[in-house]
Structure 1
Amino acid sequence: MPLISPWRADFPALDALQRQGQTYLDSAATAQKPQALIDALAHYYANGAANVHRAQHLPGAMATQAFEDTRHKAGEWLNTGSSGQIVFTHGATSAFNLLAYGLEHLFRAGDEVVISALEHHANLLPWQQLAKRRELKLVVLPLTAEGVIDLDAAASLITSRTRLLAVSQLSNVLGTWQPIAQLVALARVQGALTVVDGAQGVVHGRHDVQALGCDFYVFSSHKLYGPDGVGVLFGRHQALAQLQHWQFGGEMVLQTDYHQASFRPAPLGFEAGTPPVAGVIGLGATLDYLNDVNQAAAAEHEAGLHELLRAGLMLREGVQLLGEPQVALASFVVEGVHNADLAHLLTEQGIAVRAGHHCAIPLISTLGLSGAVRVSLGMYNDAEDLERFFNALDQALEVLR
Structure 2
Amino acid sequence: MPINIEEIRNQFPVLHQEVNGKPLVYFDNAATTQKPKQVLEALQQYYEMDNSNIHRGAHTLADRATRYYENTRSAIQKFINAKEEEEIIFTKGTTESINLVASTFGRKFIGKGDEIIISTLEHHSNIVPWQMLCEEKGAILKIIPINDAGEIDLEEFEKLLSAKTKLVSLVHVSNALGTINPVKRVIELAHKFGAKVLLDGAQSTNHLEVDVQELDCDFLAFSAHKLYGPTGLGILYGKREILESMPPYQGGGEMIKEVSFEKTTYNEIPFKFEAGTPNIADVIAFSKAIKFIDDLGKKEIKKHEDDLLEYASDALKDIKGFIPVGTAKEKVSVISFNINGMHPFDVGMMLDANGIAVRTGHHCTQPLMKRLGLEGTVRASFSVYNTKSEIDQMVASIARIAKIKNK
Could you say which TM-score interval applies, normalised by the shorter chain?
Answer: over 0.9
**Residues 16 and 23 in structure 2, CA contact (< 8 A), matched pair in contact too:** no
Q: Which amino acid aligns with 1:338?
A: H
Structure 2 match to 1:162: 165
Q: Which runs of 5+ in 1 are unaligned?
A: none
- Equivalent residue for 1:344, pick from 349, 364, 383: 349
Structure 1 match to 2:118: 115
Measured after TM superposition, the shift of residue 391 of structure 1 is: 1.9
Structure 1 match to 2:391: 386
Show the 5 A alignment for 1:297-376.
297-325=300-328, 326-376=331-381
Show the 5 A alignment for 1:70-85.
70-82=72-84, 85=87
**Residues 83 and 237 in structure 1, CA contact (< 8 A), matched pair in contact too:** no
1:305-353 deviation per Cα after TM superposition (whole angstroms, max 9, x unaligned)? 0111111221211222112152211111122111111111111221110
Cα RMSD (Å) of the superposition? 1.7
Structure 1 match to 2:130: 127
Query: How many Å separate the matches in 2 of 1:352 and 1:362?
Result: 25
1:161-198 deviation per Cα after TM superposition (whole angstroms, max 9, x unaligned)? 10000001111111111010110111111111110000
Query: How many Å separate the matches in 1 of 2:214 and 2:152?
Result: 19
Structure 1 match to 2:68: 66
Measured after TM superposition, the shift of residue 397 of structure 1 is: 2.4
1:343-376 deviation per Cα after TM superposition (whole angstroms, max 9, x unaligned)? 1111122111000000101101111100100000
Structure 1 match to 2:28: 26
**Residues 218 and 233 in structure 1, CA contact (< 8 A), matched pair in contact too:** yes
SS across alignment from 1:10: coil
**Residues 112 and 137 in structure 2, CA contact (< 8 A), matched pair in contact too:** yes
Q: Which amino acid aligns with 2:9?
A: R
Q: Which amino acid aligns with 1:391?
A: A
Query: How many Å separate the matches in 2 of 1:5 and 1:365?
Result: 41
SS across alignment from 2:45: helix
Aligned length: 400
- Equivalent residue for 1:277, pick from 277, 280, 283: 280
Measured after TM superposition, the shift of residue 4 of structure 1 is: 4.8
Measured after TM superposition, the shift of residue 265 of structure 1 is: 2.6
Query: Percent identity of the aligned residues?
Result: 36
Measured after TM superposition, the shift of residue 116 of structure 1 is: 0.5
- Equivalent residue for 1:91, pick from 93, 101, 126: 93
Q: Which amino acid aligns with 1:15?
A: H
SS across alignment from 2:249: coil
The TM-score normalised by the length of structure 2 is 0.95
2:400 is equivalent to residue 398 of structure 1: no
The TM-score normalised by the length of structure 1 is 0.96
**Residues 86 and 269 in structure 2, CA contact (< 8 A), matched pair in contact too:** no
SS across alignment from 2:30: coil
2:240 is equivalent to residue 221 of structure 1: no
Measured after TM superposition, the shift of residue 245 of structure 1 is: 1.1
**Residues 84 and 234 in structure 1, CA contact (< 8 A), matched pair in contact too:** no
2:249 is equivalent to residue 246 of structure 1: yes
Measured after TM superposition, the shift of residue 235 of structure 1 is: 0.6
2:229 is equivalent to residue 235 of structure 1: no
**Residues 176 and 327 in structure 1, CA contact (< 8 A), matched pair in contact too:** yes
2:152 is equivalent to residue 149 of structure 1: yes
- Residues 38 and 358 (structure 1), Cα distance of their counterparts in 2 relative to 1, 3 Å cut: same
**Residues 77 and 84 in structure 2, CA contact (< 8 A), matched pair in contact too:** no
Measured after TM superposition, the shift of residue 17 of structure 1 is: 5.0
Q: Which runs of 5+ in 2 are unaligned?
A: none
Query: How many Å separate the matches in 2 of 1:86 and 1:349?
Result: 42
